[in-house]
Chain A
Amino acid sequence: MEFRLLFAALLGVAGAELVLRREAGRTNAHDATPELRDLLLFAGCIGLLGGRIAAMIAGGTNPFTRPGDIIVFRAGVETGYAALFALLTFALSARKDFWGASDAAAPAALGGLGAWHLSCLIRNSCLGSASGLPWAFSSGASDVTRHPIGLYTALLFAAATIGLIWWKRRRHPLGVIGAAALLVAGAIRLLTEPLRPGIGSGPELWYGAAVIAGAGVLIWRLRLGVYAVPVKDEDTHAEDNNAEHTNDSGTDASGPSTAARRLLSRLPRPRLPWGQRSSNP
C-alpha cells in the first residue's frame, strides 16, 4: 500500500492546525478554533473531491461509470478546480460571516499549504527544473541536478503565513487578510510554476485568476474601510457575567432567559465567533 500521499495530507492538516492553535486567543477567539477547523477541513475535502472529479473528466474518465476512481486521489487533482470548489464551499458555509471567517482562517490555510508542499520530502516530489546551483540535487540514477522547488514553495508559504499573522495582529479592514491570502497563494504558485516541469498546459491561468481576484477584493475591502475590532476573551467573559447578573430574575425584556441563553450557547451557531466584529472607523 502507498501511504505517502495520506501522510502528506495529514502534514498539511497539521500545519493548518498548528497555526489555528497558535492564533487561538490571539487573533481568533478561543472558542472559534473547532469551528474554523471544521470549516477548513470541510472546504478542503469538497475542494479535493471537486478537483478529483474535474481531473477525471479532463482525463476522459466518466465519474458515473467509474465512481471507484474518484477516491484514487493519487491519480491527479485539478488544482484550479479544487481551489475553486474549496473557496465556494467555504463561502457558502460561512456566508453570513464570510469576511471575518476568511480573515480568521486565511493564515491557517496558508500554513496548511506550506506544510503540504514540505511533504514533497515524503512523497519524493521536491524536484523541479534542472539547475547547477549548489543546493540543487538529483534523484534515482540520473545525474541531472534540479531545483528543490517543493521546498522553495513551502518556505514562501511559511513566510506568507508569518506575514499574514503579523498583519492580522494589527488594525486592518475586515476581509483584507483573506483577500491577501488568495493573492499571495496565487502569486507564490505563479512565481514557482516556471521551475516545475509539467505535461501539457499548466494551471498558470488559475493562479493568475487567483492573483487578480485577490488583488481586486483586497483593494475593494481597503477602500471600503470596514475595520475588524478584535474581541478580547475578557470582554466576552465580562459580557457573559453581566448577562447572568442582569438576568437573575430569569427574564429579560431584551432577550431570552438565562437558562435559554445557556442552552442556546450549546447549539451550533449560524453566526460564527471568529473573534472579530465589524465597526466603521
Chain B
Amino acid sequence: MLILNTELSLFLHSALVIRRHLAVIVLVFALGACSSAAVSIDHIDPLPEMDPPEFYALLQDSERPIVLNVWASWCVPCRSEASLLREAAALNDGIMFVGLNVQDSQQSAREFIAEFGLTGFNHYFDSDGAVSGVLGSYGVPQTYFYAPGGRLVHRHAGIIDERTLAVYVDDLLRLED
C-alpha cells in the first residue's frame, strides 16, 4: 500500500512538472502566432533575370563590397537566416547586399521577400541555376563575401550564424578602409 501511494505521488509529481513545462512551451508558441508578413507583396517588383556575364560585371564594377546570398523560397534554412541578413543589410550601408534566387518561381520569391522584409537587398532571379553553377554553389543557402572589384574574401556554405556574419562583414568593411 505504501509502495502504491509512493508510486502515485511520484506520478503526480512528474505530471505536475510536465504540465508546467508544457504550459511554458504553449505560451511561447502562442506568442509566436502574433508574427506576420513584414512587407506587402504588392510593393515587391518581379525579380530581374541574371546570367553569368551580368553577374561578373556586377562584381567587377562594384565600388562597394558585396555580400551575395544564394537562396530559394522552398529552402527551410534560407528562411531561418533571412531575418539576420535583413538586419545586417539594414545596418551596413557601405556594403551591397545581393540576393540570388535560384530554381524558384517569381511568385514564391516575391512572397518570401515580402514575408521577411528583404527590401534592403538587390535581388536577382536565376531560374535555371546558371549563375550559382558558375559560382560552384551546390545547394542553398550559400553566402559569398566579395571585396570591391570582385575578389572573393569569404564563402560560407549552409546557414550563417550571427557571429560569423558579423566577422565576415567586419572584414569587408576593413578592406574598404
30 contacts between A and B (CB under 8 A): A49-B25, A53-B29, A56-B80, A60-B117, A61-B80, A62-B33, A62-B35, A64-B33, A66-B79, A74-B158, A75-B84, A75-B161, A76-B162, A127-B167, A128-B167, A140-B145, A140-B154, A140-B171, A142-B154, A142-B171, A142-B174, A196-B163, A198-B163, A198-B166, A199-B87, A199-B169, A200-B87, A200-B91, A267-B6, A268-B10
- Interface flag for A256 (CB, 8 Å): yes
Residues of chain A within 8 A of B58, CB atoms compared: none
Interface size range on A against B: 35 or more
Q: Does B15 contact A (CB under 8 A)?
A: no
Using a CB–CB cutoff of 8 Å, the interface residues on chain B facing chain A are: 2-3, 6-7, 9-10, 13, 17, 20-21, 24-25, 28-29, 31-36, 38, 76-77, 79-84, 87-88, 91, 115-117, 145, 151-155, 157-159, 161-171, 174-175
In the bound complex, what is the Cα–Cα distance between A144 and B174 (angstroms)?
8
Contact A85/B24 with A76-B161, A141-B152 known, Cβ cut-off 8 Å? yes
Residue A93, interface by CB 8 Å: yes
What is the CB-to-nearest-CB distance from A217 to chain B, in angstroms, rounded to a whole number? 21
Residues in chain A near residue B34, CB distance under 8 A? 57
Give the docked Cα–Cα distance between A53 and B26 (Å). 11
Q: Which residues of A contact B6 (CB under 8 A)?
A: 264, 267
The residues of B that contact A69 with a CB separation of less than 8 Å are 76, 79-80
Separation of A130 and B173 alpha carbons in the complex (Å): 12
Q: Flag if B35 contacts A139 (CB, 8 Å).
A: no
> In the complex where A74-B80, A140-B171 touch, is A92 in contact with B17 (Cβ < 8 A)?
yes
**Which residues on the B side are within 8 Å of A88 (C-beta)?**
24
Listed from nearest, the 9 A-B pairs whose CB atoms lie closest are A75-B80, A59-B83, A197-B166, A63-B32, A140-B154, A142-B171, A74-B159, A72-B80, A62-B35
